[in-house]
Structure 1
């Protein structure tokens, strides 16, 4: 006999978006089941760097972001490209803190899930959600899950389901919601290395140009040719524990997308880094190179349908400008929770549906124009030569790069900001929403 358990809301996936949603739902007194297929702590492929947008979400959840609590703070972004190194501090804004953070995903997700349970949500791990439960009208009224090592089938019922199951978006796929091929997507690979020289840093580091040794150098000889320019961008984030997170991303606007061995590309790039960084030495590597897709620019819609809200990566909410996903997962989870609270306070039927249908409208208002700009940006930088020209002519101008940082990180004050904020906010309002 299949067991059935009921709640006000079922949240599928205890990543940052799911835990943020569960936290805010529970704080408002709703009964929440947070279903996670894995056990904590667990590894996730991630750059481990958090911008001030994500930091704000942590603060809103009551998370202690002090260094004493194990976080590594940073002042901003160091950009390397065109032969120039430029350090850009995070902007001083009323809307966001002026610092970023680094922390491994190995315990980050568990910390957020613990905050959600502290607010009253019920976390059930080793619960692999396998599909929706539908009523006679085709509306989702619950989920089925395979539970524990025996994969016993169990049913969970709720008037609302939040799909926060990441880039795989298995729940959305089970409802026939395929991703849109006309939206940007990226691939990122990363690896940890032990590096005494780079283990801590006041800045997140972004490489706008990646190079690999010229062919003659790979054979041991010395080449007069310039190192080869690789597609994509790279990062180096000091973890503060003797390790660095090193990775790269490639966008589908690049001709190399889907045709390149990204793991080889990573090691080729790292072979050009200084010896004392120990990133060109396999003996200093910790674990394999791992990769994941970055679904961008609302590449899966609608974000609400038939009793299901899509959150974060499941709804393709990664920022096309910088590949950031955690902040948008948490923001969309928080927004979904706010709307769900008001919807469930109304009787089932047209009144409740009117509120729930506001979720995709609000997402579009917040991010639609910005993501449209990001889509155009992705098409431009997919060409390494365009990136080369942009870095060579843009990097020597710190004021321009400060503007670029605000644009790429989506860090502006919506009202009362400076001239840069007003320009960026105006551009996002004028761009047709995706």
Structure 2
């Protein structure tokens, strides 16, 4: 029997965005095929830490997160910088839970893909999508071409065409489908670079995220301060995910040697974690982080961009998983409206509504993030902010909500109301 190649929706990629949208669509009764070039479990460069915003998305997906299966809770964010060390707990809110989670990205993606399968989604591993298929007359995307891969990732066999009325590109930072259609990233948007690995540490079972707001290229206070931040996410298995990210406000290459920067930061700044800087338990890996809607539009006829393919990463904290799942949810809502529409015009309007909804949801917040990226590109600004801002509770109450994007959109305290106002008045570019 030949492989099935037609569906209601084809999803390219089965990371958090792709698996989430496949789950939502399958639950709504869509026939959905998701094509993932790798095989699970597989590595991805990520911090492995989930804020309450991401946990809320997991709850909406009905994905169980029991501790006995490796989901480690965290109860707040510890910020270190400017000679200060302060802890900010996640507060109980109507819109978000009061805890975050940590799980290795390899396990996270695998479980989300299996969750989508349990809902009836056809998740196909080992399929490398080679391009999109377009209608010769209208230019509308009508499918993709793909080749199967062997266990070593080598393409094998003949190219196969998968067809569907709608294709969802959830193919990550590479954005191969969008690029193949001439959709280049916007060069006035921030781009991050992250490097990370895992280290054994006696503090592996701490239930706090830790963020370092000042990154030095040598001994702290006696070397150059760089635009970026570091993180430590304990995983409860004897190890912690440790990494750092740097930020370019306009996406231009920084010219930094990130591996050397990472090695120096580990040796000079993390002595209290009891790690051996010379003995990571896995290879140090790096990746680009596309931010602030740096690829648009998020919908062209027949194609939706979800997650990293559409630059849906926060410039404030490098968070991408929550927004990938968020965009998956919105994409499904638009597809349900598309299915229920009675005319061609109404159906297309329903799909176009996805891009508008994403701008309504996140455009203002990301615009604020672009201003933040411009500011911290100047190390002197970050030095002053951490030295004089961290000790002030009112300033940090607001900053905590700003960086984590965990605020009550309606009501709440003064910081919630200020955040809500700022995201509404900021232009959603």
TM-score (norm 2): 0.95
Shift of 1:128: 0.7
SS at the partner of 2:111?
Answer: helix
Measure the CA separation in 2 of the matches of 1:261 and 1:400: 33
Q: Are 1:156 and 2:162 matched, yes or no?
A: yes
Q: Mark the CA change 1:68 to 1:259 in structure 2 (over 3 Å): closer, same or farther.
A: same
1:204 and 2:209 correspond: yes
Q: How does 1:259-274 map to 2 (within 5 A)?
A: 259-273=255-269
Counterparts of 2:270 and 2:21 in 1: how far apart (Å)?
A: 43
Q: CA deviation at 1:383?
A: 1.2
Match of residue 250, structure 1, among 229, 246, 251: 246
Distance (Å, rounded) in 2 between the aligned partners of 1:187 and 1:274: 20
Q: Which range moved further: 286-295 or 412-421?
A: 412-421
Q: How does 1:243-322 map to 2 (within 5 A)?
A: 243-253=239-249, 257-273=253-269, 275=271, 277-282=273-278, 284-322=279-317
Partner of 2:124: 124
Does the 8 Å CA contact 2:189/2:250 hold for their aligned counterparts?
A: no
TM-score calculated relative to the size of structure 1: 0.93
Aligned 8 A contact 2:199 2:276 in 1: no
1:344 partnered with 2:335: no
Query: 1: distance between equivalents of 2:157 and 2:38?
Result: 13
The unaligned stretches of length 5 or more in structure 1 are: 218-224
Contact 2:170 2:309 survives alignment (8 Å): yes
Q: C-alpha root-mean-square deviation of aligned residues, in Å?
A: 1.8
Preserved CA contact (<8 Å) 1:74 1:204: yes
**Deviation at 1:289?**
1.2
Kindly provide the CA deviation profile for residues 291-340 of structure 1, in whole angstroms up to 9, marking residues without a partner as x: 11111110000000011000010000101111100000000011101111
More displaced stretch, 79-88 vs 343-352? 343-352
Cα displacement (A) at 1:373: 0.6
Q: Indicate the residue corresponding to 1:222 in structure 2.
A: none
Maintained 8 Å contact 1:93/1:413: yes
Give me the whole-angstrom Cα distance separating, in 2, the residues matched to 1:384 and 1:332: 33
Matched, 1:181 2:187: yes
Distance (Å, rounded) in 1 between the aligned partners of 2:276 and 2:384: 28
- SS at 1:199 equivalent: coil
How many Å apart are 1:151 and its aligned residue? 4.3
Map 1:135-150 → 2, pairs under 5 A: 135-136=135-136, 137-149=138-150, 150=156
Is the 8 Å Cα contact of residues 7 and 158 (structure 1) preserved in structure 2?
yes
Q: Residue 382 of structure 2 aligns with which residue?
A: 387
The alignment partner of 1:413 has SS state of coil
The equivalences for 1:75-90 within 5 A come to 75-90=75-90
C-alpha deviations, 1:36-83, integer Å up to 9, x for none? 000011010000000011101111111112212321100010000111
* Preserved contact between residue 4 and residue 154 of structure 1 (Cα < 8 Å): no
Q: Is the 8 A contact 1:34 1:121 kept in 2?
A: yes
Where 1:287 maps in the other structure, the secondary structure is coil
How big is each residue's C-alpha offset from its partner over 1:66-125, in whole Å with a ceiling of 9 and x where there is no partner? 212321100010000111100001122100111000000111101001111111110111
Contact 2:189-2:251 within 8 A present in 1 as well = no
Decide whether the 8 Å contact of 2:84 with 2:390 is kept in 1.
Answer: yes
Give the secondary structure class of the aligned counterpart of 2:282.
strand
